[in-house]
Structure 1
Amino acid sequence: MKNYLKETPILNYSKPSIQSLVKEKKWMELDTIERVKSIYNYVRDDIKFGYNVSDNITATQVLEDGYGQCNTKATLLMALLRATGIPNRIHGFTIDKALQKGAISGIWYKLSPKNILHSWVEIYVNETWYFLEGVILDKVYLTKLQEKNKDCKTTFCGYGAYTDNFENPPIEWNLNNTYIQDKGINQDFGLFDTPDEFYAKHQQKLGAFKRFIYRKIVRHRMNKNVKKIRNGR
């Protein structure tokens, strides 16, 4: 279990901002189940869905940004859980870019790679591994997305979601697996003890020029589109 609790350059949970948050939220005063639930809900809802500059930023950078996507929210979730003694690991995948349609559109969607790097956190509680993918979309954003597509009750693909239960996706954690993008998975890279190990082996399939354009232009447009949904427009 020591490997599932260790600190790394990406999981930099000894930094003051994370330690202060742990104290402020009084997570160490909660029992294991309630602690996981509270940390999970915090990363899901207080850290809004959005696109950071890259996947391999540190946990403190995700916290400072105040938003994240599957990979960066996974980093912060892992760091907060490890800071409070909850063992965890990361499971790497790729997902079909179709689930990003709407958040990204036009020429930028066409130029984006078909397979997008994806991950979820797995936690060890009560001698069981649980998968926490449902942390990606904050509830305000998801609720507005559901309202905008109220005729869809089952399979929905786009705007950061790919689920076969759009009306009531399994995003609440209570000793169960949670999901919101899992139906888009098309390649399994397996398990890694840390995101540092995962990103050392796998990165988004973008050349230097496309990576620059994503950081400087595309992600800002994507974040504007996400904000429009969250604001009900």
Structure 2
Amino acid sequence: MDKSDYLGPSFFIDCDAAPIREKSGELTANIEEPREKAIRIFNFVRDDIRYNVYSPRPSDEDFKASHVLARGEGYCVQKALLLVALARAAGIPARLRFAEIRIHHTARSIAEKRGSNVFPYHGLTDLYVEGRWVKATPTYDLGYCRKAGIAPVELDGKTDALLPLCTLDGRLNIEYIQDRGFFDDLPLDEIRKASVSWKYLTA
């Protein structure tokens, strides 16, 4: 594996954009260890970029990492893209990963409008830290976690940081149906075709 393949920019992962470079530099200033840089960036994306399942996504531009940063909110795929871009700007190899999941705490109104509580392309991130790839899921901010009754995802840079399987009171929260693997860039056409919610969420 050539780690340099996961350091460069793309249309969606615009880690060379000035706002991305500036924010990444601000977050990692005076930090030497890549693992600590990764944790700092992860915490920013998790908490400062608010989770919003209704975040705009009608155009390709809505998925650019710099646009997500400027908007200050996003859903799982958009937040994963931003984490990849900020990490790459800090010199940390990063790539997108997708999984098909079933969310049991999804609000009834959302599930009814979508017709399903299965999300075929849940977005997360792989970060290359201390010689290995670590999964990182920055989807839910602390405020959302408190409302939903779930533990926030914590990144230590050594173990995979995934959404909790159960709520704090023991109810089933997430089922991982299948791992779709990692991607060099955003497979937006595939996501649009697979997502039963696409028409609803872009209306």
Provide the secondary structure at the position in 1 that maps to 2:56.
coil
Aligned to 2:184: 193
CA distance in 2: counterparts of 1:123 and 1:61, whole angstroms? 21
Aligned to 1:126: 130
CA distance in 1: counterparts of 2:84 and 2:30, whole angstroms? 19
Confirm or deny: 8 A CA contact 2:96 2:184 kept in the other structure. yes
* Residue type at the aligned position of 1:128: R
Aligned to 1:89: 95
Match status 1:142 vs 2:176 = no
Residue 89 of structure 1 deviates from its aligned partner by 1.7
Residue 53 of structure 1 deviates from its aligned partner by 2.2
What does residue range 195-214 of structure 1 map to in structure 2 within 5 Å? 195=186, 198-206=187-195, 211-214=198-201
Residue 92 of structure 1 deviates from its aligned partner by 1.7
CA distance in 1: counterparts of 2:114 and 2:104, whole angstroms? 9
Structure 1: give runs of 5+ residues left out of the alignment.
147-165, 217-233
* Residue type at the aligned position of 2:43: N
Aligned to 1:163: none
Residue 104 of structure 1 deviates from its aligned partner by 1.4
Structure 2: give runs of 5+ residues left out of the alignment.
166-173
Tell me the number of residue pairs that the alignment of Structure 1 and Structure 2 aligns. 187
CA distance 1:206–1:69, change in 2 (3 Å): closer
Greater gyration radius: 1
Aligned to 1:161: none
Confirm or deny: 8 A CA contact 1:89 1:122 kept in the other structure. yes
Confirm or deny: 8 A CA contact 2:192 2:198 kept in the other structure. no
TM-score, length-scaled by structure 2: 0.79
Provide the secondary structure at the position in 2 that maps to 1:39.
helix
CA distance 1:23–1:114, change in 2 (3 Å): closer
CA-based RMSD of the aligned residues comes to 2.5
Residue 93 of structure 1 deviates from its aligned partner by 1.9
Residue 47 of structure 1 deviates from its aligned partner by 0.4
Give the fraction of aligned pairs with identical amino acids, expressed as a percent: 25
Match status 1:9 vs 2:15 = no
Aligned to 1:18: 20
Higher helix share: 1
Confirm or deny: 8 A CA contact 2:99 2:122 kept in the other structure. yes
Provide the secondary structure at the position in 2 that maps to 1:104.
helix
